[in-house]
């Protein structure tokens, strides 16, 4: 076959490589997760995630506008309350930090972006779990669902376009969808964290939200070795009314992203999580990696695996590079 077949002909110039490129990475495919802390008077740096902060309400507005102007496709919001309790009541309170911040951003941005809310109790509970605990100390799935329905309604009323149930409770999508529809919130969508694994890469995120967790979440998050189970979760969430599904983490689960993309009838998101971010930032800070090239390669790999959209802490910065 050689020398008649020379694949390098299609790599000769930047224009040629651009012409035959198979995977696109555009700002609209990037979603920026953001943290807002109740009572914060100035942004609080997150040590394990250089460049990421817990925002004040004012700095959140400013950073959100900048990200949208850079072209990002959406914003995913997490709230850090001053006080917590066993049921995470701050998540449902209309005046809780997450719901207040959602109203701030919806007022500031309107429909210029897709405003998303993390629909989970873990930031708001004094035990750090994603649901309420039963007498045996385990998470009570069905009691948690009732609170998720209330939380979802509060977030929809505060202005979220999409709710992000991330607690991995059985039936969570169906319960939230039913509650929204009964309340006339039929236009509020659900981005289901369908395949969320019990990953070691979540460590920096727990610092970011000041998590109170002791122990682990293995009774509700998935075993990192299971793919068929992930696909079953995705299938169930779509059947319950999910408008989009997510695989989390992304970089260490690219095979699951690919399998999800091939099986799903709705758009697939992947979350490039805190530990993946922290690894690249640490290596780049030590001069071991070219930061910009590595970030773009990481994001491209997630798109190549089949993700329609990527949640990433680099979203605003990468969007500026891409444009």
- Contact of 170 with 180, CB cutoff 8 Å: no
What whole-number distance in Å separates Cα of residue 201 and Cα of residue 243?
Answer: 26
Alpha-carbon distance of 6 to 258, in angstroms, equals 29
Identify whether 248 is a catalytic site residue: yes
Which two structure tokens, joined as six digits, stand for 254? Answer: 């690219």
Which of 123, 122, 175, 126 minimizes the C-alpha distance to 153? 175
d(CA 58, CA 65): 11
Length of the chain equals 323
Active-site position among 62, 196, 218, 293: 196
User: Could you say which of 62, 82, 214, 248 is catalytic?
Assistant: 248
Phi, psi at residue 28, to the nearest 5°? -65, -20
Residues 144 and 167: beta-carbon distance below 8 Å: yes
Angle between helices 291-305 and 254-263 (to 10 degrees): 40
Active-site residues, by number, are: 196, 248
């Amino acid at each position: 076959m050689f020398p008649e077949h020379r694949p390098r002909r299609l790599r000769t110039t930047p224009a040629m490589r651009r012409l035959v490129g198979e995977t696109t990475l555009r700002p609209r495919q990037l979603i920026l997760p953001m943290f807002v802390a109740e009572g914060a008077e100035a942004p609080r740096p997150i040590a394990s995630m250089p460049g990421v902060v817990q925002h004040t309400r004012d700095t959140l507005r400013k950073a959100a506008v900048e990200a949208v102007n850079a072209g990002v496709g959406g914003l995913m919001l997490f709230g850090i309350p001053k006080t917590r309790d066993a049921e995470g009541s701050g998540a449902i309170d209309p005046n809780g930090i997450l719901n207040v911040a959602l109203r701030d951003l919806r007022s500031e941005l309107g429909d210029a972006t897709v405003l998303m809310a993390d629909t989970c109790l873990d930031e708001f509970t004094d035990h750090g779990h994603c649901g309420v605990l039963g007498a045996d100390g385990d998470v009570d799935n069905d009691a948690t669902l009732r609170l998720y329905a209330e939380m979802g309604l509060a977030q929809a009323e505060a202005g979220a376009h999409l709710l992000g149930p991330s607690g991995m409770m059985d039936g969570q999508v169906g319960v939230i969808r039913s509650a929204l529809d009964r309340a006339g919130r039929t236009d509020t969508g659900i981005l289901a964290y369908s395949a969320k694994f019990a990953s070691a890469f979540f460590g920096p995120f727990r610092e970011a939200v000041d998590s109170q967790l002791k122990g682990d979440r293995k009774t509700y998050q998935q075993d990192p070795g299971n793919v068929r189970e992930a696909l079953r979760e995705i299938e169930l969430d779509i059947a319950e009314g999910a408008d989009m599904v997510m695989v989390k983490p992304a970089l260490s689960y690219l095979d699951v992203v690919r399998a999800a993309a091939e099986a799903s009838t709705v758009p697939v998101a992947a979350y490039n999580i805190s530990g993946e971010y922290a690894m690249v930032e640490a290596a780049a800070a030590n001069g071991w990696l070219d930061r910009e090239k590595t970030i773009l390669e990481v994001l491209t790999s997630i798109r190549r695996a089949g993700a329609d959209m990527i949640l990433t802490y680099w979203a605003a910065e990468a969007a500026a590079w891409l444009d």
